[in-house]
Structures are given as structure tokens and as C-alpha cells.
Amino acid sequence: MIKVNKIEQPLHEHFDPEGKSLGFLNYLEHLDLRLQIKTEKADGYYLIFNDLTIRFQSNGRLERWPNDMYDQVESYLYKLVRGINE
């Protein structure tokens, strides 16, 4: 039987260059912020993930991407493409 699963999106706190919290962002909000950083070539933004400070580069990329950070979408897409049992 098919049912709708309620899935909570992971949220991670993001900060501006002065250390002011921008809030806890979901994946789409995170991507939007990255695009804005790239467009504006902004520096100094960062997020906290599992007590790690991860800085955004001015091209919108992250200095590193830890395992389990916003990986839900990729996991589901992988299962769709490759098969659920892999």
C-alpha cells in the first residue's frame, strides 16, 4: 500500500559575516543562500553542522561537505536511479 510519509527536513544554522544568525535553513533555503553568495561574490558567510564551522566561498561553494549534511535528496535520487536495494 502506498502512503505519504511525513519527512522532516534537516535544518542547519547559517550565519552572516558578522556572526549574526540567518536562522536554521532547509536544503532549498541553503541552496538559495549559496546562489545569492555567488551572485554577490560575498565573503564571510558560514554554517554550523555537528559543531563544525563550514565556510562558504565567494563562488557559493562550501569549503568542505561533511557526510550526512543535506544528503536526503541525493539518497532518494540514487535509490530511484540505481534501485532501492543498493
Q: State how far the Cα of 76 lies from the Cα of 79, in Å rounded to an integer.
A: 5
* CA proximity to 66, closest of 43, 48, 45, 86: 48
CA angle 72, 78, 49 (to 5 degrees): 25
Residue 85 has pLDDT above 80, yes or no: no
pLDDT tens per residue, range 5-41: 999 889 999 999 999 999 999 999 999 999 999 999 9
Q: For the chain, what are the domain ranges?
A: 12-82
Please identify which residue in the block is written with the cell numbers 540567518.
22
The pTM is what? 0.84
Section 42-69 average pLDDT: 96
**In terms of C-beta distances under 8 Å and separation of at least 24 residues, what long-range contacts does 21-27 make, across chains too?**
27/70, 27/72, 27/73
Section 43-47 average pLDDT: 98
> What local confidence, expressed as pLDDT, does residue 46 receive?
98
